[in-house]
Structure 1
Amino acid sequence: MPPRANPTLRQRRLGTELRRMRERAGFGGSELGRNVGMNPAQVTQMESGRIGISVDRLHTIAAACNCDNRPLIDALAGIITERGKGWWEGYREVLTTDFLEVAEIESFATALSTCTTNYVPGLLQTGAYASAVFTRVYPPLPRKDIDVRTAFRVQRQQLVRSGKTPLRAFIHEAALRMQFGGSKVLADQLDALVEDSEQAGISVRVIPFAVDTFPGASENLTFAEGPVPELDTVQLDVAHGVLFFDAPADLAKHRAVFARMDSMALSEDASRDLIWSVKKEVEDRYA
């Protein structure tokens, strides 16, 4: 079978974990290849996600590398045996890879934590608010592209609204006050945010202006938990797309960031009260 031209994020992550397994054992690619019956080119392609391996080959590699982390090995075996395409593949011809990989990460996460500073998290946006967020892009997008992106974002939300994946959303007060699409869109969004916060599996916590120091980065963050901690992933939104981090040091750093946010954010009840008060301000000011 020829190498994959465009391995998915999960396929690349499998390769990354196999590389880390090899490096922890102190092997070079050639040495591992000799031990498991692969040539150096195959090892390189495996670690880049361009070729797949069997579960039996995974166990052979783990044994050769003296890896006895059974939960990790079982989780990697789960990636190998995944079949079928995710719903996001239907958008591959119309959206960039960044969009698809965000949906892929979310769909395989066991839990999600987000932190946003300038808008309501995408997983909790109303259709009108999401459309307004995409409308602000410069240079302006064609209407059909805005509609596609909005539909994609709304479909992503089924993951948390169904209760399948727990969501913790930390939202800075600034994001509650930033307008996209006008006061009516914002007021409706804040109303929907309160309703979402009352659903099982969705926690909304506000970080108020009164907090002395904002914990964490100014960018919007998502921490996606995997079936084992080694397979957690950090997503960072940047101006021209998204960045993903999975190095152990990055994961440890962002676990600490979210722990700080958890200790500094308002309680769920106090957060709802603040959201309601902001909504009332918006309605009174622009009535």
Structure 2
Amino acid sequence: MGLRANPSQRQKRLGQELRRIREESGVNREAACRHAGLHKPHLSHIEAGRTACSETRLRALLDFYGCADTALVEALVDMSAASGRGWWSEYRELSKGRLWDLAELECGATAHRSFQWMFVPGLLQTRDYVSALFANSVPAVPPEDGARLAEFRLRRQSVLFADPPPRCHAVIHEAAFHMHFVSRKIRRAQLEYLVEISQLPQFTIQLLPFRSEMPPATPGAPFSLMDGKAAPLCTVYVEQPTTPAFISDPAHVEEFAATFSRLSMAAFDPLDSTLLHATSSYRLVQHLLYIL
């Protein structure tokens, strides 16, 4: 079997996790190769995500490394067995695969946590909001490309309504609803949609007001945390002006998780219109609807 020229994020993450477990166990590459009947370059390619690893060999390696986390073992087996093909395969022309990686990771996540300060998170945007963003994008994209990108984003949202659905926790800065790159009508409809979906049990939506006394360490870039089927498999997706970044290093993931926790504590209570005494996020939404 030939080597993969461009491993997917899932394939790279599987290899990285195998290497992390091996190194933490104190097993060197030579000993692992002898145990699994592999040549040293073969294991190097597996750990780089450039080639596959059979379930039998994968379980043998994890057992040799002393990995006793059953949930992690089964999650890695599932990652290895995945074909990588899904609805996103229909969009091969988009973004050199980065968007496919995002869609595949989102579909495999058990929970989504996101922070946005200028936009509503992509998974929570209405059709009109998405269309307006791509119509006014800078740099401009041809209308047909914008329509294709908008369609892709809307299809990503289906993951939040799967059976069973993953948890979705979003912290959105109030600034996102004062931006004029979408019309007042669209912003109002977007706010009403957030109120509507907040009544579903899988959603936790908080607004971070302008008057929040956030410390200087507030992140400058929006980010999302996607929890895997086992705790060590959380991945961070950071939106950047050039190439978005996927972060899997445990220490860095923990930093983003701590930042999200801090943002959640600084934000208003979760949006909920069903309570007798409306939450502060809901009161802010009503204020925004009034002034828009």
Q: Percent identity?
A: 32
Q: Shift of the alpha carbon at 1:57?
A: 0.5
- Of stretches 202-211 and 271-280 in structure 1, the one that deviates more from structure 2 is 271-280
- Of stretches 109-118 and 210-219 in structure 1, the one that deviates more from structure 2 is 210-219
1:242 to 238, 241, 244: 244
| Cα distance in 2, alignment partners of residues 84 and 73 from structure 1 | 19
| Cα distance in 1, alignment partners of residues 243 and 181 from structure 2 | 20
1:190 aligns to 2:200 (yes or no): no
| Cα distance in 2, alignment partners of residues 53 and 21 from structure 1 | 15
Q: TM-score, normalised by structure 1?
A: 0.92
1:166 aligns to 2:161 (yes or no): no
Verify the 8 A CA contact 1:109 1:224 in the aligned structure 2.
yes
Query: Aligned-pair RMSD on alpha carbons?
Result: 1.8
> For 1:95-114, what aligned pairs fall within 5 Å after superposition?
95-114=95-114
2:269 to 257, 267, 270: 267
Give the SS at the match of 2:165.
coil
Paired residue type of 1:169: A
Give the SS at the match of 2:140.
coil
Paired residue type of 2:85: K
Paired residue type of 1:227: K
Paired residue type of 2:46: M
Give the SS at the match of 1:239.
coil
Give the SS at the match of 1:157.
helix
Q: Which residue matches 1:285?
A: none
Q: Which residue matches 2:2?
A: 2
1:56 aligns to 2:66 (yes or no): no
Q: Shift of the alpha carbon at 1:175?
A: 1.1
| Cα distance in 2, alignment partners of residues 192 and 69 from structure 1 | 40
| Cα distance in 2, alignment partners of residues 223 and 172 from structure 1 | 17
> Aligned pair in 2 of structure 1 residues 218, 72: CA closer, same or farther (>3 Å)?
same
1:155 aligns to 2:165 (yes or no): no
Q: Shift of the alpha carbon at 1:95?
A: 4.1
- Of stretches 211-220 and 270-279 in structure 1, the one that deviates more from structure 2 is 211-220
Q: Shift of the alpha carbon at 1:134?
A: 2.0
| Cα distance in 2, alignment partners of residues 31 and 149 from structure 1 | 47
Q: Shift of the alpha carbon at 1:82?
A: 2.5
Verify the 8 A CA contact 2:84 2:104 in the aligned structure 1.
no
Give the SS at the match of 2:166.
coil
1:225 aligns to 2:235 (yes or no): no
> For 1:16-55, what aligned pairs fall within 5 Å after superposition?
16-55=16-55
Structure 2 residue ranges without an equivalent (≥5): 271-278
- Of stretches 34-43 and 129-138 in structure 1, the one that deviates more from structure 2 is 129-138
Give the SS at the match of 2:244.
strand
Q: Which residue matches 1:11?
A: 11
Verify the 8 A CA contact 1:180 1:186 in the aligned structure 2.
no
- Of stretches 151-160 and 20-29 in structure 1, the one that deviates more from structure 2 is 20-29
> Aligned pair in 2 of structure 1 residues 242, 94: CA closer, same or farther (>3 Å)?
closer
Give the SS at the match of 2:239.
strand
- Of stretches 24-33 and 125-134 in structure 1, the one that deviates more from structure 2 is 24-33
> For 1:106-125, what aligned pairs fall within 5 Å after superposition?
106-125=106-125
Structure 1 residue ranges without an equivalent (≥5): 283-287
> Aligned pair in 2 of structure 1 residues 179, 197: CA closer, same or farther (>3 Å)?
farther
Q: Shift of the alpha carbon at 1:22?
A: 1.8
Q: Deviations over 1:212-263 (max 9, x none)?
A: 1157412111011111110011111111231111111012112211221222
1:279 aligns to 2:284 (yes or no): no
| Cα distance in 2, alignment partners of residues 84 and 171 from structure 1 | 31
| Cα distance in 2, alignment partners of residues 179 and 173 from structure 1 | 13
Q: Deviations over 1:162-191 (max 9, x none)?
A: 462221110011112112232222222222
| Cα distance in 1, alignment partners of residues 265 and 288 from structure 2 | 22
Number of residue-to-residue matches in the alignment: 282
Q: Shift of the alpha carbon at 1:84?
A: 6.4
Q: Shift of the alpha carbon at 1:278?
A: 0.9
Verify the 8 A CA contact 1:211 1:264 in the aligned structure 2.
yes
| Cα distance in 1, alignment partners of residues 266 and 94 from structure 2 | 40
Give the SS at the match of 1:89.
helix
Verify the 8 A CA contact 2:214 2:266 in the aligned structure 1.
no
